[in-house]
Amino acid sequence: MTRTFFVGGNWKMNGSKDFIADLSKSFDGQKTDGVGAPFVYLPLLAGVLRKDWSLAAQNCYVKDSGAYTGEISGQMLLDVGTKWVILGHSERRSLFHESDEFVAEKTKYALSKGLKVILCCGELLEEREAGQTQAVVDRQLLAVVKSISPADWKNVVVAYEPVWAIGTGKVATPEQAQEVHAAIRAFLAKNISQAVADETRIIYGGSVTPDNSPVLKGQPDVDGFLVGGASLKPSFLDICNA
């Protein structure tokens, strides 16, 4: 069983046309896996990035079209050349009150359209301190397990992102990341199948940098990274190539 290492960038609500022009020059000819950009820049990026780069959106709604003011459908993402969507990011869960069930509904919808999903999960600092890390992650994942079929998991990458490590500079230790990733894999084996557990990539997100990525990458259950702030810098390529 081989899991191909996966490195995605999540720009969050950052970027501009000038930024994209500069970045595309520094990334020219280089290979990364994917970039998660704001909706409005996806068509522009589709035009300037290497064709073997995957574009990701950072959210989508659960309908193809209709009276849903302000929403973007999975169908629209496909229409502008986007193959991936990040769902369940902690910022969506906390700032926009997305429930586990809504994230699961979005995941089911996106997969049904043919999008691949980076499914985020992770605990708050107080949940970790209360010894609830695994219970929280299991609860977030269980909603999705109930909503999609075992076969769907081949198009899902699980991103474990401890909320206390996101944008804080306080990266999880390799041991902390490995412990949760191994537990997520055991959860997938128990609740879906050993094959899904073996084949699903579980990537880590939270203050990943070129400096800390090599040691995190050395953990057996860390199959890649979802990179926020550091994906906005040319040195993102150092993480991709680590």
Footprint on this chain of ligand G3H (rule: CB under 6 A): 10, 89, 161, 166-167, 205-208, 226-230
Which of 89, 105, 123, 181 is an active site residue? 89
Of all residues in the shown chain, the one whose CB is closest to ligand G3H is: 228
Q: Are 123 and 78 in contact (CB under 8 A)?
A: no
Q: Are 63 and 105 in contact (CB under 8 A)?
A: no
Beta carbon nearer to ligand G3H, 70 or 169: 169
Active-site residue 127, yes or no? no
Taking the complex as a whole, how short is the minimal distance between the CB of residue 171 and ligand G3H, in angstroms?
8
Task: Provide the angle, in degrees to the nearest 10, between the axes of the packed helices 174-191 and 133-147.
Answer: 40
What's the rounded Cα separation, in Å, for the pair 214 and 183?
21
Taking the complex as a whole, how short is the minimal distance between the CB of residue 45 and ligand G3H, in angstroms?
17
What's the rounded Cα separation, in Å, for the pair 130 and 143?
22
What's the rounded Cα separation, in Å, for the pair 136 and 13?
26
Q: Two tokens at 163?
A: 């909320």
Taking the complex as a whole, how short is the minimal distance between the CB of residue 226 and ligand G3H, in angstroms?
4
Q: Given phi > 0 = left and psi -120 to 50 = alpha, else beta, which region is 26? A: alpha
Q: Given phi > 0 = left and psi -120 to 50 = alpha, else beta, which region is 122? A: left
Which of 71, 161, 179, 199 is an active site residue? 161
Taking the complex as a whole, how short is the minimal distance between the CB of residue 54 and ligand G3H, in angstroms?
15
Taking the complex as a whole, how short is the minimal distance between the CB of residue 84 and ligand G3H, in angstroms?
13
Beta carbon nearer to ligand G3H, 34 or 229: 229
Bridge partners, 202 (sequence order): 158
What's the rounded Cα separation, in Å, for the pair 159 and 209?
16
What are the Cα distances from residue 73, in Å, to 82, 87, 151, 186? Answer: 11, 13, 23, 33
Helix (H) or strand (E) holding 141: helix 133-147
Active-site residue 89, yes or no? yes
- Residues serving a catalytic function are 89, 161
